[in-house]
Amino acid sequence: MRKYSHLWFVLPGLLFFSAVMVGPALFAFVVSLTNWSGLGTDYQFIGLKNYVDAAFHWPFYRAALHNFEIFIAILIFQHTVGLFIAVQLNAKPRFMQFYRTVVFLPVIVSLVSTGFIWTLMLSSNIGFINPVLHDLHLGFLAKNWLSDPNWALPTVIVVICWNSLGWSVVLYLAGLQNIPEEMQQAAQIDGANAWQIFWRVTFPLLSPSFTALTVLTFIGTFRTFDVVYVLTGPIGSPNFTTDVLGTMIYRYAFGGSGFNNSDLQMGFAITMAIILFLIMTFVCWAMIRILRKREIDI
Amino acid sequence: MTIATDQFRRRKRGANRKRTMRMVSFARHVFLSLVSFFVLLPIGYMVLASFKTVPDFFGNPYGLPSSWAVDNYSRAWQEAHVSITLPNTIFVTACSVLGSVFLASLIAFGLSRKEKPFAMALYTLFVAGLLVPVQMIVLPLLILLKFFGLFGTLFALIVPYIALGLPLGVLVLAPVAATIPRDLVSAAEVDGANPWQIYWRVVLPLMKPGLISVSILNGVWMWNEFFIPLIVAFETESQTLPVGIVAFIGAYSTEWGLVFASVVVSTAPVVFAYLLMTRQFQSGLTAGALKG
């Protein structure tokens, strides 16, 4: 009896978790086997047809590609600019606390607030950026940032960069502070220059931060929804150039501007959400396995 | 002779080095100030925008407001329904944080000994919840909430928040609970404490730093959460700040002053808490990331 006594403590949480997460996830799988629209009670079981349809549904790939572009851009940004800022902060300049506090600040600002701030900043006529450019006689640089098909996605990426920069700085800084100074000193005595010390000693020792940040960025960018919803709306305007998986699934499940009730395909939307879940689980598992291998214990 | 030149050279090199160091340090400050400026600019702009009148947005897009429209805030309180959504947000966040931290700490204590039956399997199950996209479970959840008559109440938010907060809580707290010395637990057992007393009197106080981390981690996303209330809360009475602002802008799209007054109200409490506890926020939020 005592052998299982610990499970009594797990039980309340487990019941709650089963009712609100596991149960609905299983139910979602059942819905993914139907052609239910989400309204009314009219549905038929159609087997795996939704999954096959999703595999040949090109907007699904378009949205996934946008997610992927955002992921790569943010990843590069965090591992270059974020790492560079962290290295500068690790040199412990004066006001280091101030800089660190400021850089992390946007992380706690909600993505909805971030979206509103930047909607106004980037607005074509009222905003901040275009009027400043005009007054600096750089008017030719002004763009319709969020409605020009060529600029909309890069602009969304810049906004996400602003919101997520703090993660990389704080994660890398924590990693840098964990490295014992003797290791860098030892390399210096052996005649390594600063550049060599950084790439041969410091950077390999930062691999736990690298792993955490990469996985975190992957999960975050493939879940993008709030920012796009606020900046360019649930249809990822202009002309779906900023459409991501989050907004696309939302649109098929619950509608959005330009969509009416006859377009709703709840079963199909849930199918795509399940595919997203499976892909994310697999990629995270693979990334952690691959990236953990290059981690070294100090 | 050679010694003298050597010393001279060394001194010269030292001076050169000092000068380079000073220049590097100066460049570093310039760089970091620039970064801070670009980070703070949009936040400062948000605060300024919340005091502007509608004509100001067109006539004077980036300067200081020509007249400080403080009544944006009182109007937002009424017209943008901040008077309803702010208390809602506070209540929902408080209940969900307490609920998720309490349940997660119970689970962490129960699973703290990995050799016990099912401990690893259950741990994996909870942590896998981190990867579930909300879109996948939100519809069945909606049906469930309707069935229990919670639809349209604040519990329609609190229930999913607690469930979604559990994986992070277990992820952070299980390792913390596992490091609690077993001697301490067995000593309490010898003294005749039952498992509940051990949890409440011995383990919970020792998990305090972890509990604070989880509270911050969950509190921030629960305060800011947008997708779930967007699906579940149609009526102003059950909306939280982020979705309330979006609903408001849908109705009055040109009242930017009021929108930004609401945005400031929704951002300020978190920023304020962050400035008071910068260290706990940074370590708390990264704790979850590094363990994942």
Q: Does any domain span residue B50? A: no
State whether residue B57 sits within 8 Å of chain A by CB: yes
Whole-number average pLDDT of chain B: 85
Distance CA B49, CA B72 (A): 10
**B212 pLDDT above the threshold of 60:** yes
Residues of B within 8 A of A22 (CB-CB) are: 125
Q: Does any domain span residue A27? A: no
What are the tens digits of pLDDT across the range B16-42?
A: 778 888 888 889 999 999 999 999 999
Higher per-residue confidence, A6 vs B30: B30
User: Distance from A124 to chain B by nearest Cα, in Å?
Assistant: 11
Q: Does any domain span residue B27? A: no
If one counts the domains in chain A, the total is: 1
- CATH number of the CATH domain containing A75: 1.10.3720.10
Q: Does any domain span residue A24? A: no
B242 vs A101, A110, A127: nearest CB: A110
Q: Does any domain span residue B272? A: yes
Helix (H) or strand (E) segment spanning residue B170: helix B155-178
User: Distance from B109 to chain A by nearest Cα, in Å?
Assistant: 7
Distance CA A293, CA A203 (A): 15
CB-based burial of residue A288 (10 Å sphere; 0-12 exposed, 13-18 middle, 19+ buried)? middle
pLDDT given for residue A297 in this prediction? 57
CB contact under 8 A, B122 and A10: yes
Q: Which two tokens stand for residue B74?
A: 């009182």
What are the tens digits of pLDDT across the range B44-93?
A: 999 988 898 887 877 777 778 777 888 889 888 888 888 999 999 999 99
Q: Which two tokens stand for residue A249?
A: 């699934």
Span of A128-132, A170-174, B97-101 with lowest mean pLDDT: A128-132
Q: Does any domain span residue A51? A: no
Examine residue A238 and say whether the peptide bond preceding it is cis (omega within 30 degrees of 0): yes
Tell me how many residue pairs between chain A and chain B have CB atoms under 8 A apart. Answer: 255
Q: Tell me what percent of the residues of chain B surpass a pLDDT of 90.
A: 29
**B1 pLDDT above the threshold of 70:** no
> How many C-beta neighbours within 10 Å does residue B86 have?
18
pLDDT given for residue A102 in this prediction? 93
What are the tens digits of pLDDT across the range A15-31?
A: 989 988 888 889 889 98
pLDDT given for residue B57 in this prediction? 78
- CATH number of the CATH domain containing B153: 1.10.3720.10
Q: With bands split at pLDDT 50, 70 and 90, how would you rate the model's confidence at B15? A: confident
Q: What is the DSSP letter of A45?
A: B
Asked if B116 and B271 count as a contact pair (C-beta separation under 8 A), the reply is no
pLDDT given for residue B95 in this prediction? 95
Closest chain B residue to A90, measured at CA: B28
**A154 pLDDT above the threshold of 90:** yes
Q: Where in the sequence is the domain holding A69, given as residue range(s)?
A: 57-293
CB contact under 8 A, A215 and B292: yes
> Mean pLDDT, to the nearest integer, of B100-126?
86
If one counts the domains in chain B, the total is: 1
CB contact under 8 A, A269 and B135: yes
pLDDT given for residue B223 in this prediction? 93
Distance CA A224, CA A160 (A): 9
Q: Does any domain span residue A52? A: no
Q: Tell me what percent of the residues of chain B surpass a pLDDT of 70.
A: 92
Distance CA A161, CA A159 (A): 5
Pick among A2, A8, A17 to test the B interface (most B CBs inside 10 A): A17
Distance CA B75, CA A207 (A): 51
pLDDT given for residue B11 in this prediction? 65
pLDDT given for residue B32 in this prediction? 93
Q: Which amino acid is at B54?
A: V
**A39 pLDDT above the threshold of 80:** no
> Mean pLDDT, to the nearest integer, of A128-141?
83
pTM, rounded to two decimals: 0.88
Q: Does any domain span residue B29? A: no
B residues 195..254 contacting A (CB < 8 A): 195, 199, 220, 223-224, 226-227, 230-231, 242-243, 245-246, 249
CB contact under 8 A, B160 and A20: yes
Nearest to A297 by CA among A207, A215, A166: A207
Pick among B136, B145, B225, B248 to test the A interface (most A CBs inside 10 A): B136
Q: Does any domain span residue A42? A: no
Closest chain B residue to A251, measured at CA: B135
pLDDT given for residue B6 in this prediction? 63
Q: Does any domain span residue B2? A: no
pLDDT given for residue A1 in this prediction? 46
User: Distance from B101 to chain A by nearest Cα, in Å?
Assistant: 10
Span of A261-275, B154-168, B217-231, B255-269 with lowest mean pLDDT: A261-275
Distance CA B206, CA B109 (A): 11
Residues of A within 8 A of B133 (CB-CB) are: 223, 246, 249, 273, 276-277, 280
Q: Which amino acid is at A141?
A: L
Q: Rounded to 5 degrees, what are φ and ψ at B255? A: -80, 65
Distance CA B101, CA B161 (A): 11
**A288 pLDDT above the threshold of 70:** yes
pLDDT given for residue A113 in this prediction? 92
Q: Does any domain span residue A31? A: no
CB-based burial of residue B3 (10 Å sphere; 0-12 exposed, 13-18 middle, 19+ buried)? exposed
Which segments of A5-95 does DSSP mark as H helices, in order?
7-17, 23-32, 49-55, 58-77, 83-90
Q: Does any domain span residue B108? A: yes
What are the tens digits of pLDDT across the range B226-263?
A: 999 988 888 888 899 999 988 888 776 678 888 899 99
Q: Does any domain span residue A20? A: no
pLDDT given for residue B157 in this prediction? 92
CA angle B233, B104, B166 (to 5 degrees): 40
Coil, strand or helix at B114: coil
B residues 103..122 contacting A (CB < 8 A): 103-104, 106-107, 109-113, 116-119, 122
pLDDT given for residue A199 in this prediction? 86
Pick among A1, A3, A10, A176 to test the B interface (most B CBs inside 10 A): A10
Phi-psi category of B41—alpha, beta or left, where left has phi over 0 and alpha has psi -120 to 50?
A: alpha
Q: With bands split at pLDDT 50, 70 and 90, how would you rate the model's confidence at B3? A: low
Distance CA A245, CA A64 (A): 6
Residues of A within 8 A of B118 (CB-CB) are: 7
Q: Does any domain span residue B238? A: yes
Q: Quick one: how far is CA B183 from the chain centroid?
A: 35
CB contact under 8 A, A108 and B281: yes
Q: Does any domain span residue B278? A: yes
**B278 pLDDT above the threshold of 90:** no
pLDDT given for residue A63 in this prediction? 93
> Mean pLDDT, to the nearest integer, of A249-273?
78
Q: Where in the sequence is the domain holding B178, given as residue range(s)?
A: 73-291
pLDDT given for residue A73 in this prediction? 96
